[in-house]
Structures are given as structure tokens and as C-alpha cells.
Amino acid sequence: MRQPALLLAAALASQAVAATAQTITIDDLRAPTSPAFVLLDVTPSSVERPENPKSFAVNVINKLTSRSGFPQNYALEVAPYWLMSHPDLTFERYQNPGIGQSIAQTLSFSIATTPLQVATTTAASSTSTSVGTRLGAGVSVNVWNGQPNPKIEPLINDLVKIDSDIADDVISEQERPDDRTAPIKTAADKARATDTALQIQQIDAQRLGFLLTIAAGQVWNYPGDVVETAQTDRRGIWVTPAYRFRVCGDDLSCDAFVDAIGVVRALHDPGKTMMWDVGGRFLWQPNKELSVSVETLRRHGAASTPDSSRTVGMLEYRMTADTSLYATFGQDFAKAVGNQPLVSLMGVNVGFGNKATVRAQ
């Protein structure tokens, strides 16, 4: 019997792709950092950068492989707040949310799958084979969501003028329906408004100042992809405080950012005592396309290997509006057998869609 959780995930995934058939055109594609991926140890970074969730987001790490019809290394993230209508949510409140509103806007749930690997070591070699599926489920919320980027303000001022022109255009069209030039002017002003709104969307994803994210998750193993064999695996909870600032002060043409991100993470593996990861990440984004970061974490706890730490560098480059390439290289936490594996991961993050599509009423 196929496990219902996986079927649910597949159904949700197909629903998400169907519901978000629009192409991503905004700039906030990032390497996958959903809590489910973090616990499954397949995320390129162990210290996630605070992000605002999409109503639906699908992340693919490495590649999609279909084994028995279900893709591996796959994550789906859902932000329930944005699946419902909020007629009372003004632009001002959306941009400057209190703690309660921030929690509502950024609460997201994620599920992810990876192959369940079993290592076989002989005198000559060590091989790893897949014997099932690991399923991770996570929740994430930005308790404190920073401040709007000041670059939004001049764009809003532009939009006020353009909207006023559109209102005049429409009134003019209604008063003089025989004027054939009026619709052309309306269309041109609407195109200007769209261009400005897209710039605002882009900057909307670049919030500054202090951000505080809390995330938690649980992993289950399904040997043989059989539901009856489900085993509870790792679970964890972590807090990620971050401070983001522009490196060029008040220069509004500047797109360079620096993120200083910390993390405190409690992890529990079945039959072992709690482990604690403490560390941080320093991220430099010199322009819209490129980001470079270094992270280091120290693992403490009776269940961890002594002197266990992880230090990796990561490079992320956005190739197109809907595709980003990332690469991670460094040293991972020491394994129980004593070796400290190399982290070497390259991948492409492809956006399938970012917004739920709803019918006009």
C-alpha cells in the first residue's frame, strides 16, 4: 500500500502547480530553505535567510527523479493566510505589520521528501542505496518581519501620479465615449502602472532591519515506501534572528545588501539526547543577481560527535527571472564513525509559480 502522506503530497503538488500556472517574474527566488528540507539535511545552507513565503511554492533540489511515480528531493510550501481573501488588510498594515499580523502573513507549512539511503561499506568501497523515502514536515513563521525598504517610497509617489492619470483617463472615456484616442492613453498609463508595481513587488521582498524567524519540523522514514513501516526520525526547533542592511547607506540606486544571521537549533534523534546547533551566516549580496555567504555552526550535546562543526561557503546566482543556480562547498558535521564529510552541492531552483490564482467575482 502506498503511504497516504506521500499521495497527499503528490496531490498537493499537482494542485499547487495547476493553481499557479503563471510564470514567476519576481526577484525573490532563493535556494530552498524550507524547514522540511533543513531537517532532511539537503538544504544548501543550514542557516536560512528570512524570507516571506509564497502562497504556494515548489522547490526542487538536484533533480526530479520519478521512482514508482513519486519525485524525490521535492518540497512544497504553503502559506495559508494568502489562500484567503483579506479585504481589511490595507497596504500600510501589510507593509508595517505588528507581531500578530506578521505571524499571520508569514506562517508557512512545508513538506519535503528525499530518498532513504542505506550505506554499505566494504574494504574496497562505500556505496549508498535508496531503500525508501524520508518525509519531512515543517512550519516556519517570521515573528518580527523587519521594515519596508525605503526604496519603495519614491515608487509609491510615482504610482499615485500614474493612478491619478488612469482615473482621469477613465473619467474622460466615460464622458467622451467617441474619443478614440482616450483608450490608447488609458492602456499606456496602465502599462506604466504595471511597470512601477512590479518594481515595488521586487523591493517588497527586500525587507530591512531586524527579522526573527522561528521554525520547527519532524522527519519520518518509510522503508520500502510502505506506510506500515513508518519510523519517527529527527525533529527540531530553531530560532533565526537576522539583521539586514544596505551597504550603501541612503543611496536609493543601491542594490547591495548584507545579512548577518544567527541560529540556535535544538535537534532530537530517536534514542539519543538533545543536540544543539549554534552558529551564524554572513551573506553579501552585491547586486540583484549574485549572493555569496559563509556559515559556520557548532554542534553541542551528548549525542553529537566531539568537536563537530560545519563550515561552508555558498554562492547563488540568478540566471533568469525564474531560475537560480546555487553551489555550496565546505565541511559538514562529523559523522558517528568519525569522518567529517565534504559538503558539495550544486543545484538549480526553478519557480513554477508564486501566487494562488482565484477567479474574479
Partner 1 sequence: MAADVSVDRTYTVDTEDVFLSVTVGEGQFGLSDVRLGTQKLVRATGPITVRIGHGPDIAGQKLVVMSVVNDVNTHTNRMSVSYRLTGGKTSDAFVANGTVANEGGVLVFQANITLQ
Binding site for partner 1 (CB under 8 A): 22, 25-26, 28, 52-55, 79, 81-82, 85-95, 105, 156, 159-160, 163-164, 166-167, 169-171, 173-174, 182-183, 186, 190, 193-198, 200-201, 204-205, 354-361
Give the nearest distance from C-beta 118 to partner 1 in angstroms: 41
Nearer to partner 1, 22 or 129 (CB): 22
504610482: which residue's cell? Answer: 159
We find the least distance from the C-beta atom of residue 259 to partner 1, in angstroms, to be 19
The least CB distance from residue 18 to partner 1, in Å, is: 16
Closer residue to partner 1, CB minimum distance, 68 or 174: 174
- The least CB distance from residue 181 to partner 1, in Å, is 12
Identify whether the C-beta of residue 262 lies closer than 8 Å to the C-beta of residue 280. Answer: yes
Q: Is 97 or 279 the residue whose CB approaches partner 1 more closely?
A: 97
Question: Please, which residues have CB within 8 angstroms of residue 259's CB and are 6 or more apart in sequence?
Answer: 49, 242, 243, 244, 281, 282, 283, 285, 293
The H or E element spanning position 4 is helix 4-19
**Cβ-based nearer residue to partner 1, 238 or 352:** 352
Nearest to partner 1 of 260, 358 (CB atom): 358
CA angle 16, 21, 23 (to 5 degrees): 120
All cell numbers assigned to 160: 499615485
Residue ranges of the alpha helices (H) in 91-181? Answer: 91-95, 99-106, 152-175
Q: How far is the CB of 292 from partner 1 (least distance, A)?
A: 24
Smallest separation (angstroms) from partner 1 to the CB of 166: 5
- Separation CA 338–CA 272 (nearest Å): 17
Nearest approach, Cβ of 190 to partner 1 (angstroms)?
Answer: 5
CA-based angle 51:56:58, to the nearest 5? 85
Residue placing its CB nearer to partner 1 in the complex, 81 or 284: 81
Contact 6, 226 (CB under 8 A): no
d(CA 356, CA 151): 27
**Burial class of 125 by CB neighbour count within 10 A (0 to 12, 13 to 18, 19+):** exposed
Question: Which CB sits closer to partner 1, 108 or 114?
Answer: 108
Instruction: State which residue, 176 or 335, has the beta carbon closest to partner 1.
Output: 176
The CA distances from residue 188 to 146, 177, 214, 331, in Å, are 35, 18, 44, 54
Least distance in angstroms from the C-beta of 350 to partner 1: 17
Burial (0-12, 13-18, 19+ Cβ within 10 Å), 360: exposed
